[in-house]
Amino acid sequence: MATLTLDSVSKVYKAARGRPVTAVDAVDMRIADGEIIGLLGSSGCGKTSTLRMIAGFEDVTSGHIEVGGRVIDNLLPAERNIAMAFEGYALYPPLRVRDNIGFALLRDRQPRAEVKRQVEEIAELLEIVPALDRYPPTISAGQQQRTSLARALIRKADVFLLDEPMSQLEPQLRAVLRARLKDWLITRRMTTVFVTHDQTEAIALADRIAVMEEGVLQQFASPDELKERPANLFVASFIGEPPMNLFEARVDRSRSGLGLAVLDAGGARAFELRFDAEVAGLADGAAVHLGMRPHRLRLGDRAGAVQGTVTSHSWLGDQTHVGVEIGGTECIVVAEGEVPARLGAPIAVEVPLRAVHLFDADDGRALFHGSEAAS
């Protein structure tokens, strides 16, 4: 219901002994009104600290946070008009689930009948109607989590912060609620930032995803963009299931087009790739990281395919993950449907240009995305 801007926000924790710890390092984010943002990253990457600074439980060490154009750095949590669902639920134990959810509305002196109607509406959405008249310590963790989510969603706040909102739910329920939650957020134009370490959830819910690592915002982009054009090696390896195949490689420009000599762990030449594409930059002999999306690789013996042997094979019911050894390097190929492949059998892997990503060998920044050159 309002824009949210993080302007070069940092959080430094002063340690009693030793060096201060930078939990969040100059994060810039401009979030539009009604946008849904996922904060994704491994544990301790600074995503929860970021959320807590927005809510006002942590001071901002430097930078500014604005909600709807209003700087909120020095406001008390109560003055920020922000709703939050906590990872640890944080329900009020002496109140029934119903009163927990309606708490903020009742506090604002809204008519009881109206609050009751709204509480029931959201309880139905999140499937906690049977728990409404019980007390938080007597219901399951999943119900507590949904109560906590309901308590946040029912408010008319400017910004909604959801910290791991569905981590305790069973997979089926999570899938159902994810869709309902998204619908609820979109129809009410609720500006939302949610933290998760489940990338399926992030991709399904978010308009844009902020990938964080060691307090630094690595990339802030749409799910497609993150997959097609990862900004650096970290984002490339973090996003995608199964993860991107990564190799050391050397650029070979001795002939026309783009040649890549892929190296094995010992630095010896494992196999070669050659594409008929005009690619600017990329000096001959430059050391790079080569990334190949498993979903973009194909099995099949067409011209230019690389020969390998099958080392693993798992059929997941709708797709097959095939592990292939090519000249001493390992790589995973995802094939649609069931693939009849025996372990140890020879197999050919096609590498289309759009499967290829190149990253700088030193700092990991992206140099080239095959999908850009191919399209």
Partner 1 sequence: MQRQTVIGRGVRVVLLTLVGLFFLFPIFWVLLMSFQTNQDILRIPPSLVFTPTLENYGALISGRLESTAGVLEIRFMNNLMNSVILAVSSVALSLLLGIPAAYAFARFKFRLGEDIAFTLLSFRFAPPLLVLLPLALYFQQMGLIDTYIGLIWVYQLITLPLILWIVRGYFEDISEDIEHAYRLDGNGWFKTFTRIAIPLAKPGIAAATLLSFIFAWNNFVFALILASADKQPVTVGALAFVTASGIQYGQIAASIVLSVTPTLLLALYAQRYLVEGLSLGAVKG
Stretch that binds partner 1, among 74-82, 324-332, 344-352, 366-374 (CB under 8 A): 74-82
For the chain, helix, strand, coil in percent to 5 are 25, 35, 35
Stretch that binds partner 1, among 84-92, 115-123, 297-305, 346-354 (CB under 8 A): 84-92
Nearest 5°: the CA angle 122, 128, 134 is: 115
Stretch that binds partner 1, among 50-58, 115-123, 212-220, 332-340 (CB under 8 A): 50-58
The reply to whether 194 sits near partner 1 by the rule CB under 8 A is no
Contacting residue, 9, 82, 149, 331, with partner 1 by CB under 8 A:
82
Instruction: Scan residues 126-145 and list those touching partner 1 (CB under 8 A).
Output: 136-138, 141, 144
Buried-exposed string 175-187: b where 16+ CB fall within 10 A, e elsewhere = eebbeebbebbee
The nearer residue to partner 1, 148 or 199, going by C-beta atoms, is 148
Buried-exposed string 144-168: b where 16+ CB fall within 10 A, e elsewhere = bbbbbbbbbbbbebbbbbbbbbbbb
3-class SS of residue 260? strand
The nearer residue to partner 1, 144 or 245, going by C-beta atoms, is 144
Q: How far is the CB of 142 from partner 1 (least distance, A)?
A: 11
The reply to whether 77 sits near partner 1 by the rule CB under 8 A is yes
CA atoms of 93 and 70, how far apart (whole Å): 34
CA atoms of 178 and 5, how far apart (whole Å): 25
Q: Is residue 81 within 8 Å of residue 157, measured between CB atoms?
A: yes
The nearer residue to partner 1, 95 or 216, going by C-beta atoms, is 95
Contacting residue, 20, 28, 32, 57, with partner 1 by CB under 8 A:
57
Contacting residue, 91, 115, 150, 273, with partner 1 by CB under 8 A:
91
CA atoms of 179 and 177, how far apart (whole Å): 5
Q: Which of 166, 174, 177 is nearest to 141 (CA)?
A: 166
Instruction: Scan residues 258-317 and list those touching partner 1 (CB under 8 A).
Output: none
The nearer residue to partner 1, 92 or 344, going by C-beta atoms, is 92
Contacting residue, 47, 98, 146, 151, with partner 1 by CB under 8 A:
151
The nearer residue to partner 1, 163 or 252, going by C-beta atoms, is 163
Token output for 220 = 């802030």
CA atoms of 67 and 302, how far apart (whole Å): 55
CA atoms of 29 and 84, how far apart (whole Å): 19
Instruction: Scan residues 8-37 and list those touching partner 1 (CB under 8 A).
Output: none
Q: How far is the CB of 129 from partner 1 (least distance, A)?
A: 20
Contacting residue, 24, 27, 41, 80, with partner 1 by CB under 8 A:
80
113 CB contacts (<8 Å, ≥6 apart)? none
The alpha carbon of residue 190 and the mean position of all alpha carbons in its chain are separated, in whole angstroms, by 19
Give the CB-side neighbour count of residue 277, counting CA atoms within 13 A. 22
Contacting residue, 108, 114, 336, 338, with partner 1 by CB under 8 A:
108
The nearer residue to partner 1, 76 or 283, going by C-beta atoms, is 76
Q: How far is the CB of 216 from partner 1 (least distance, A)?
A: 26
Q: How far is the CB of 163 from partner 1 (least distance, A)?
A: 9
Point out which residues bind partner 1 (CB under 8 A).
Answer: 55-57, 76-78, 80, 82-84, 86-94, 103-104, 107-108, 136-138, 141, 144, 148, 151, 155
